[in-house]
Amino acid sequence: MEAGLESPVDEDGVHDSFSQLIAEQSQNGGPSDAFQLQQLQRHLDEEDRDNVAHLSSPGRDLRERRLRQRDVQWEDDERQGDPLLGERWSSATMRILSSMPSRTIGRSRGAIISQYYNRTMQLRRRRQSRPAIRDFSHSARPSIRGYGMEADSTDAEVSKRERLVNNLQNLSVSDRVRMLRAMPLNVAEKSELRRLALQKEKSTISGSQIPCCSQLKYYIIIGARQSWYSWLSFLHSLQLGQVALKRVSGRFGSGVLSYFLFLKTLLFFNLFLFLVTGVFLVLPQAVHPPVLPAGRASFSGLELLTGAGYFSDTVMYYGYYCNYTLGRSCMEADGGQNVSLPNGTRLDCVSENLTYNMPLAYFFTIGVSFFITCIILVYSMSKSFGQSFRIDKSHSILAMKVLSSWDFKVIKKTSVKLMSENICTQLKELLAEVNHKHVKNTRCQKLWRLMVHGLAWAICIASTTACVLAIYYFSGHMHQKQSSRSTIDPLLNEASLLALPVVVSLINLLLPGLFNLAAWMEDYDSPSVRTYVSIGRNLMLKVSVLGVLCYHWLGRVAADPKMIGLECWESFVGQELYRFLLMEFIFTLLDTLFGEFLWRLFSEKVLKRRRKPVFDIAKNVLELIYGQTLAWLGVLFTPLLPAVQLFKLLLLFYIKMSSVMMNCQSPRKPYRVSQMTTVFITLLCFPSFLGASVCVTYTMWSLTPSSSCGPFRELKTMFQAGKRWVEALEKDNPNLSVLARAHSYLVENPFFLFVGAGIFLIVIYFHSQVVDGQRKIIGLLQEQIQNEGEDKKFLITRLQSIHEQKRTPGRRLTSQDC
């Protein structure tokens, strides 16, 4: 960090703490000491012109300085039982120490101004707007002006300020605003600097002849900036549930807040998907409804749960969408779209008005929305990772805990007390861990621990496998029953469709409880390991459940839809996903009700404990991720599913908010917010989004769409819609054959994929080497700073000893080692 090259000028603020102390002691020290030191002053060359009466003899405990390698002597009575050992310095040395740049950089205005002067100079150099020679001080040699060689030490603060103002004025507007904002001065001083900078700018602008286009540019820039500020304010005012979030963070801190922020992130993803599918798919199809087959079911209440029945022939599902190009003139001409055209041809009447190629739109909308979601996810994941990853692997757990763990957002008194208790416990635990690192376990104990871990993992894996097999056989069983059951009461038929979702949601609810029990008997080294193991087990369960369900839908149902009498397997899969999403929501509500509300009542009234249930952040976030995976899986089959998910998340936000405020208390274990947020975003990207997009890609690439419904009927795969379009383009316009050929090479030839992946891996390898190099440099710099510290100590002790030697030898002083 560039400290000011000049030593800071005397300012009142620097000596503030000492003036009181020194004044206090000068009352006790007596006049003789001050007088002798005054004589001494005249012999020494001191740069300061302080009033000598303020100095006093070394006496009571001024700040101690602790030196490891030196023998120290200390006087008990004068130290007042201070347990820390150290040298005692004379007040002159203390004064010099207190005005060292490293100590005043945080406080003196002059130091801050000179620091920012250097920074603005560097910024100007970087931006290539070289400072004019006349801006430099005259003392620098002309040949080296502009290379940062200013080393004047006697500049008054005023001229430093002038130079800073000059630099500010020469920066661009956004740079200036950023510099001014980042300065740690108070608003009055910053506005003074700004006023000076603008004043000069106005005078230069009005003075010189500015051509009209750059003046226009100036006004455009100002107008753009104003509109940007108002846009930011508008966005800020739109914040959802700001008051509620503040209440939660005021009571529970950042950990629980991160759950709600994650929920908001998912809300935005779903909003984006909903807008895209709504505008490009739902709206055009709703405006041009196709002719529906006869025998449509009437509305009974069961549709809301099963999604079938009345809903199955609505715009909600894949089966409703047309496979031809929509256009208004055709509808008028034929009086109803009874015409089902083969895919390649186009009617003459269509070409006169706005047309909308539905299969192509469907294909590209899903593809592009997934692509954009992928980009946004990868970007936020890498940003989050960058914030929480640190190159330097040194262990400074205690320092970090003490210096940065206080959460200023917490404002409720009881929560503050709880936080203090938590910090105290964690500090004691960390101290014990740091200072008794090697608790040697005997071989027997290690073996025992390993056995317990193995047993717990065996229980978890066995129960997961058992549940997965159960789902597999049960879904197969339901599949069989479905095919043989079409004659029984249709309502019962529909209700039996709910059986599989209920079973899966039950498993998702109960099995994590079993995992918790298994983890309870285990003994972990640290609480974060425990959290990660629990997340890993839950993840394993959910991934396997989703895997077997995908196999069931895409492998069983899609492969042979005729077996269960399905005309349109995609709509069926869409309905299944709707049911699963809804059941998951209902079970989350039940879990909130029983797990939090009733448990709190039970523990208060029956068990008479004052501790409320703890809000388990990891479990709730994993449930959100599971729901989002289902939503992503279902977008292809049910374009309105993001709307359902949006609605569900909004309800969940407010329900969870009120449940947390009423029923829960904040977690007692330390929760590293930034790391956990990164983990959750990574989980959202990798297993969740990746899995969903793999399934969707597989469906589009390899599965045969149903032949009697949907926008891709009579095609071999959904992907062919894109290919056909490219072929049609090529036919219409032979100049675009290059595009078509490029398309077929890039998309279908795996060679490019390999080359791309290879380049990517090489780039990653280079970056990791750079990171290693930087780690080594950090180590070297730390050593260098340590050496400089030794130099500093040496110089100070020499200064002190010279000072002592020049004093009259008869004085009684405590001896100092040299």
Partner 1 sequence: MGTTASQLGKDLLSEYQELTFLTKQEILLAHKRFTELLTKDEKDLPNTRVPVERILTLPELKSNPFRKRICHVFSTSEYKDGSLTFEDFLDLLSAFSDSATMEIKSHYAFRIFDFDDDGTLDCGDLEKLVNCLTGETDDTRLTTEEMRQLISNILEESDIDKDGTVNLSEFQHVISRSPDFVSSFKIVL
Q: Which of residues 536-595 bind partner 1 (CB under 8 A)?
A: none
Q: Is residue 80 at the binding interface for partner 1, with CB under 8 A as the rule?
A: no
Q: Of residues 423-462, which lie at the interface with partner 1 (CB under 8 A)?
A: 423-424, 427-428, 431, 434-435
Nearest approach, Cβ of 66 to partner 1 (angstroms)? 4
> 3-class SS at 257?
helix
Q: Is residue 788 at the binding interface for partner 1, with CB under 8 A as the rule?
A: yes
Nearest approach, Cβ of 512 to partner 1 (angstroms)? 26
Pairing of strands 355-357, 325-327: antiparallel
Q: One-letter amino acid identity for 153?
A: S
Among 103, 264, 449, 723, binds partner 1 (CB under 8 A): 103
Q: Is residue 407 at the binding interface for partner 1, with CB under 8 A as the rule?
A: yes
Closer residue to partner 1, CB minimum distance, 276 or 796: 796
Q: Is residue 672 at the binding interface for partner 1, with CB under 8 A as the rule?
A: yes
Task: Please state, as a whole number, how many other Cβ atoms lie within 10 Å of the Cβ of residue 476.
Answer: 12
Task: Please report, for residues 359, 649, 726, 739, the alpha-carbon distance to residue 723 in angstroms, rounded to integers and kept in the order given.
Answer: 12, 37, 5, 12
Closer residue to partner 1, CB minimum distance, 17 or 480: 17
As a three-state string, the secondary structure of 130-188 is: CCCHHHCCCCCCHHHCCCCCCCCCCCCHHHHHHHHHHHHHHCCHHHHHHHHHHCCCCHH
Cβ-proximal residues to 139 (8 Å cutoff; 6+ apart), any chain: 150, 152
Q: How far apart are CA 625 and CA 615, in angstroms?
A: 17
Q: Is residue 106 at the binding interface for partner 1, with CB under 8 A as the rule?
A: yes
Q: Of residues 240-279, which lie at the interface with partner 1 (CB under 8 A)?
A: 246, 249, 254
Got the DSSP string for 225-247? HHHHHHHHHHHHHT-TTHHHHHH
Closer residue to partner 1, CB minimum distance, 245 or 514: 245
Q: Is residue 674 at the binding interface for partner 1, with CB under 8 A as the rule?
A: yes
> 3-class SS at 289?
coil
Point out which span in 176-184, 266-274, 551-559, 659-667 binds partner 1 (CB under 8 A): 176-184
Point out which span in 187-195, 562-570, 619-627, 744-752 binds partner 1 (CB under 8 A): 187-195
In degrees, rounded to 5, the angle at the alpha carbon of residue 276 between the alpha carbons of residues 273 and 280 is: 145
> 3-class SS at 413?
helix
Among 388, 493, 496, 717, binds partner 1 (CB under 8 A): 388
Closer residue to partner 1, CB minimum distance, 86 or 146: 86
Among 177, 514, 736, 813, binds partner 1 (CB under 8 A): 177
Tokens linked to 390? 């640190």
- Of the candidates 530, 507, 529, 510, the one whose C-alpha atom is nearest the C-alpha of residue 520 is 530
Task: Please report, for residues 307, 316, 582, 634, the alpha-carbon distance to residue 644 in angstroms, rounded to integers and kept in the order given.
Answer: 11, 10, 9, 11
Nearest approach, Cβ of 84 to partner 1 (angstroms)? 5
Q: Of residues 208-247, which lie at the interface with partner 1 (CB under 8 A)?
A: 226, 229-230, 232-233, 236-237, 246
Cβ-proximal residues to 201 (8 Å cutoff; 6+ apart), any chain: 169
Q: Is residue 207 at the binding interface for partner 1, with CB under 8 A as the rule?
A: no
Considering CB under 8 A, how many residues would be counted as binding partner 1?
87
Nearest approach, Cβ of 23 to partner 1 (angstroms)? 15
In the block, tokens 């100079």 appear at 121
Nearest approach, Cβ of 203 to partner 1 (angstroms)? 19
Cβ-proximal residues to 759 (8 Å cutoff; 6+ apart), any chain: none
Closer residue to partner 1, CB minimum distance, 21 or 729: 21
Nearest approach, Cβ of 191 to partner 1 (angstroms)? 6
Closer residue to partner 1, CB minimum distance, 64 or 522: 64
Q: Is residue 790 at the binding interface for partner 1, with CB under 8 A as the rule?
A: yes
Nearest approach, Cβ of 73 to partner 1 (angstroms)? 17
Closer residue to partner 1, CB minimum distance, 194 or 723: 194
CB 4 within 8 Å of CB 110? yes
Q: Is residue 693 at the binding interface for partner 1, with CB under 8 A as the rule?
A: no
Among 755, 768, 789, 801, binds partner 1 (CB under 8 A): 789
Dmax over CA atoms of the chain, in Å, equals 121
Nearest approach, Cβ of 230 to partner 1 (angstroms)? 8
